[in-house]
Amino acid sequence: MRVVFVSFEGIDGSGKSSQAALLVDRLQTSGVDVVSSREPGGTALGERVRELLLGAEDVSPWAEAALFAAARAQLVSEVVAPALERGAWVVVDRFLHSSLAYQGGARGLGVDAILELNRTAIGGLLPDRTFLLRVPVEVALARTADGRRDRIESEGAEFLTRVDSAFEALSVRFDAVEAIDGTRAEAEIAEEIAVRLGLL
């Protein structure tokens, strides 16, 4: 089966944005029609929700989960569904599994409850393949040490460790979620992803 909808997941600093960009470049170089986006954001409404989510001082856990789901619903209807309908590939930097790991796992709302909320919001449109970049929490923190951290990224190592465990559990539970060793050189990781997608 041809893979067309791919998401990248991992803790902040795992290298998912870099790998999403490398995959998009590879596809474009091969002449493939590809649409890329990021979460939260990717639409005008989503960018406003992103500001609310990452800038606000005090956001209750369920408000956070519902706002991420709202941004995702908009991204699906405005960007993902139209692209898939015309036969394009879609590559997203974070999607549903971020909510499952951060809100469902690390915030303790429950993976199944967040899955249910998002299934309703996005009408069951799930990625064909999700690459989960895994690096030890200390490595991820060191990679992001000099940048400014947003409200969620500022939670610290203990929170990121919970997110990481939740992501790992998702890769065990869902066949479409594939863990990738993110500690290697960028080009090597990109090559493995291309092989797994049948592009090489």
Footprint of ligand TYD (CB under 6 A): 12, 17, 39-40, 54, 68, 94, 98-99, 102-103, 150, 152-153
User: Could you tell me which stretch among 28-36, 83-91, 124-132, 185-193 binds ligand ADP (CB under 6 A)?
Assistant: 185-193
Our measurement of the distance from residue 165's CA atom to the centroid of its chain's CA atoms, rounded to an integer in Å, reads: 15
Given 4, 5, 6, 12, the residue binding ligand ADP (CB under 6 A): 12
By beta-carbon proximity to ligand ADP, the closer residue of 2 and 148 is: 148
Mark residues 118-147: x for contact with ligand ADP by CB under 6 A, - for none: -------------------------x----
Of all residues in the shown chain, the one whose CB is closest to ligand TYD is 102
b or e along 22-33 (b: 16 or more beta carbons within 10 Å of the residue's beta carbon)? bbbebbeeeeee
Decide: 130 and 177 in contact? Cβ < 8 Å. Answer: yes
Element (H, E) at 117: helix 111-122
Interaction between residue 10 and ligand ADP (CB under 6 A): yes
**Quick count: other Cβ atoms within 10 Å of Cβ 175?**
8
Tell me the closest approach of the beta carbon of residue 162 to ligand TYD, in angstroms.
12
Compute the distance between CA of residue 80 and CA of residue 64 in angstroms, rounded to an integer.
Answer: 22
The rounded distance, in Å, linking the Cα atoms of 54 and 52 is: 6
Residue 143 binding partner per list ligand ADP, ligand TYD, none, with a CB distance cut-off of 5 to 8 Å that depends on partner kind = ligand ADP
Q: Which stretch binds ligand ADP (CB under 6 A): 49-57, 74-82, 84-92, 182-190?
A: 182-190
CB 13 within 8 A of CB 144: yes
Could you tell me the two tokens for 33? 């029609």
Nearer to ligand TYD, 1 or 145 (CB): 145
